[in-house]
Amino acid sequence: MRTLISIVAIVTGLTPAPAVAEPSQEGSADHTAGSQILKHEGTDAPRTGESPPTAGKVPGMDVSSHQGDVDWREAWEDGARFAYVKATEGTHYRNPRFTQQYDGSYRIGMIRGAYHFALPDRSGGAEQASFFVGNGGGWSPDGRTLPPALDLEYNPYGEVCYGMDQKTMTAWVKSFSDEVVARTGRHPTIYTSTTWWNRCVGGSVKFGDDHPLWIAHYSSKLGPLPAGFDFHTIWQWQAEGVFPGDQNLFNGAHPQLQRLAAS
């Protein structure tokens, strides 16, 4: 059966379903990209009632099992052209809706990628990266697959920096990144907020030199970027809206999005 699944994946370019979510110490916890950022930092988007400028940018979305089976045709018709799909969390959780979401977005025509919700105090960066890549977080040079993304944000269970100082957290991020590069050939996209990153990681390593930045800030104005980044690639600007899940903008036109996926 395993061989047959592998052959199907190679022929179709799609991803076999990961196993159903396994329970963690807290149960089948499933934290979405930005869930802890929204909790700690809030949003001023509802107060301003404004949307960020969209000219020359590409709208997209990110989803997890919380969205269930996504109506990808409706999302496409509403204007979404790319998507990030949660694949894993820590080394215990695999999104049971991953195949419907990841392959469904591909089939409708979107450029899509997978993301991993990090729990740095549970296991090493390389270990979590290996779990992620082995359960949907891969990459292929098909021009339709975004770099695998690492979701770094406030600890859902305790101290915001997971009990790590900046030096230790920086080493964890680098270990995760190095393993993703070794397994996929791509540096991972880093998802975070400026406040969390500057507090918990800092700028001793300029990750922005080779890691795309997916910045979370719920407002009509972006604000400052995290230390070590001079440019943002994707902005998660609202936690809900027209599309299922979070609302995102790619910082460029569609041909640039295609180039990100292809190289």
Per residue in 225-247, pLDDT tens? 999 999 999 999 999 999 999 99
Average pLDDT over every residue of 180-206: 98
What backbone phi and psi angles, to 5 degrees, belong to 183? -90, -30
- Residue numbers of the domain that contains 131: 34-46+55-262
Q: Give the orientation angle of helix 125-133 with respect to helix 166-184, to 10 degrees.
A: 30
Q: How confident is the model at residue 27 (pLDDT cuts 50, 70, 90)?
A: very low
Q: Is 13 among the domain residues?
A: no
41 annotated active-site: no
State both tokens at 121.
């105090």
In the numeric block, the tokens 């963690």 are attached to: 24
Q: Is 198 among the domain residues?
A: yes
Single pTM value for the model: 0.88
153 annotated active-site: yes
Per annotation, catalytic residue among 103, 151, 179, 246: 151
* Average pLDDT across the chain, whole number: 89
* Per-residue confidence (pLDDT) for residue 262, from 0 to 100: 94
Q: Is 167 among the domain residues?
A: yes
Average pLDDT over every residue of 24-41: 76
What proportions of the chain, in percent to the nearest 5, are helix, strand and coil?
A: 35, 20, 50
* Per-residue confidence (pLDDT) for residue 1, from 0 to 100: 36
Average pLDDT over every residue of 14-31: 48
Per annotation, catalytic residue among 30, 153, 179, 246: 153
* Per-residue confidence (pLDDT) for residue 54, from 0 to 100: 87
Q: Which of 226, 180, 202, 218 is nearest to 87 (CA)?
A: 180
Residue 171 predicted with pLDDT over 80:
yes
* Per-residue confidence (pLDDT) for residue 44, from 0 to 100: 76
Q: Is 16 among the domain residues?
A: no
State both tokens at 131.
């779990």
* Long-range contacts, stretch 72-80, CB < 8 angstroms, 24+ apart: 72/104, 72/105, 72/107, 72/108, 72/110, 73/108, 75/105, 75/108, 75/243, 75/244, 76/108, 76/109, 76/110, 78/242, 78/243, 79/242, 79/243, 80/110, 80/243
Q: How confident is the model at residue 43 (pLDDT cuts 50, 70, 90)?
A: confident
Q: Is 10 among the domain residues?
A: no
Question: Is the CA virtual torsion 41, 58, 225, 125 positive or negative?
Answer: positive
Residue 51 predicted with pLDDT over 70:
yes
Residue 173 predicted with pLDDT over 60:
yes
Q: Is 39 among the domain residues?
A: yes
CATH number at residue 121: 3.20.20.80
Q: How confident is the model at residue 19 (pLDDT cuts 50, 70, 90)?
A: very low
| Side chain identity, residue 19 | A
Per annotation, catalytic residue among 62, 89, 103, 246: 62
Q: Is 190 among the domain residues?
A: yes
Average pLDDT over every residue of 194-202: 98
Count of structural domains within the chain: 1
Average pLDDT over every residue of 168-174: 98
127 annotated active-site: no
Q: Is 72 among the domain residues?
A: yes
